[in-house]
Amino acid sequence: MALTPSVNYWPDSACSRAFWGQQELPPYRRLLDATLRWLQPKPGQRWLDLGCGSGVVSRALWARSGGTLGEVIGLDFATANAEHFAEACAALDPAPPPGRLRFVRADFTAGLPDWPEGYFDGVVSGLAIQYAESYCPERGTWTTEAYDRVLAEVCRVLRPGGVFVFSVNVPEPSWLRVICSSVKGVFRTPRPLTFLLRAVQMMSYGAWLKREARRGRFHYLPLATVVGKLHAAGFTAVEHRLRYAGQAYLFRCRKPGPGA
């Protein structure tokens, strides 16, 4: 599959489906488990799942709270993800009351204007914010302006003391290492051919993502750089772990205030 550098494939259904397959990979499952251990949702809280994809984390948040959260919003801008999110949430038993677990189709690159300051108790994001892109036509270069804006907006919409848990890939991530560490998963999945096909597709999209990251369009940043950006955005108590077969950093940080 030859991918054109100038095109953004994230809204495409084929790209969405390719990355649904990573949810079956053991490294992703371990990353998801580690993410969920850091969330600790409490009854009545409001949570935002930024770049939610098909809604795995959104549904896990709801289930982990025992269905007691006040609101869980999954935000993504791929139509296929919206459809899959709705189907998967409808299959939950018991079904969430209307409006309590919902999908919002939007591009977080532009910020989070739909929510006021301090609206959410927690924000979570899995391997997503690194794809916030911004281009400066005057300088003719890609910039980190959108990435920095996302961090600042997350801090804004969190209540004082609110938590932000997210993961991003390491510089020059090796998708092959993720796939190789998942070989046993082929024999455990009920659809091995689909598993292998999506693994190949993920490798192809992954190669495109790495090429674009080298151009500065996407952001696989060193650990120290991400930590520095979190502090600049106003976050404190920054913690981090290496997960996803060594190809992703998992962070937890807080907005200053009571409970931080």
Contact 85, 54 (CB under 8 A): yes
Higher pLDDT residue, 120 or 16? 120
pLDDT band at 10 (very low <50, low <70, confident <90, very high): low
Q: Which range is least confidently modeled, 1-10, 32-41, 66-75, 204-213?
A: 1-10
Residue 8: inside a domain: no
Res 185 pLDDT > 70: no
Report the share of the chain in percent with pLDDT over 90: 62
Using 50, 70 and 90 to split pLDDT, how confident is the model at 26?
A: confident
Average pLDDT, the chain: 88
Q: Judge whether 5 lies within some domain.
A: no
Whether residue 244 is contained in a domain is answered as yes
* b/e 52-73 (16+ beta carbons within 10 angstroms → b): bbbbbbbbbbbebbeeebebbb
Q: Provide the CATH number for the domain around residue 240.
A: 3.40.50.150
Residue 169 lies in a domain: yes
Can you tell me which residue has the tokens 């390719």? 18
Q: Is the pLDDT of residue 2 over 80?
A: no
Q: Which two tokens stand for residue 26?
A: 């053991």
Q: Between these two residues, 260 and 84, which has the higher pLDDT value?
A: 84
Does residue 56 lie within any of the structural domains?
Answer: yes
Q: What was the pLDDT predicted at 74?
A: 97
* Domain assignment of residue 158, yes or no: yes
Q: How many domains does the chain have?
A: 1
Q: What is the per-residue pLDDT for 80? A: 82
In degrees, rounded to 5, the angle at the alpha carbon of residue 29 between the alpha carbons of residues 157 and 105 is 40
Tell whether the torsion through CA atoms of 95, 97, 101 and 107 is positive or negative.
Answer: positive
219-255 pLDDT tens trace: 999 999 999 999 999 999 999 999 999 999 999 999 9
Question: pLDDT: is 260 or 39 the higher one?
Answer: 39
**Entry pTM:** 0.90
Q: Is 3 within the bounds of a domain? A: no
For the chain, the C-alpha Rg in angstroms (whole number) is: 18
In a domain, 2, yes or no: no
First to last CA, the chain: 46
Better pLDDT: 169 or 17: 169
Question: pLDDT of 29-47, one tens digit each?
Answer: 899 999 999 999 999 999 9
Percent of residues, the chain, with pLDDT higher than 70: 83
pLDDT at 183: 65
Tokens (6 digits) for 38: 């850091």
Least confident of 89-98, 187-196, 238-247: 187-196
Structure tokens at 203: 């490798």
Range of the domain at 113: 13-254
Distance between CA 223 and CA 235 in Å, rounded? 15
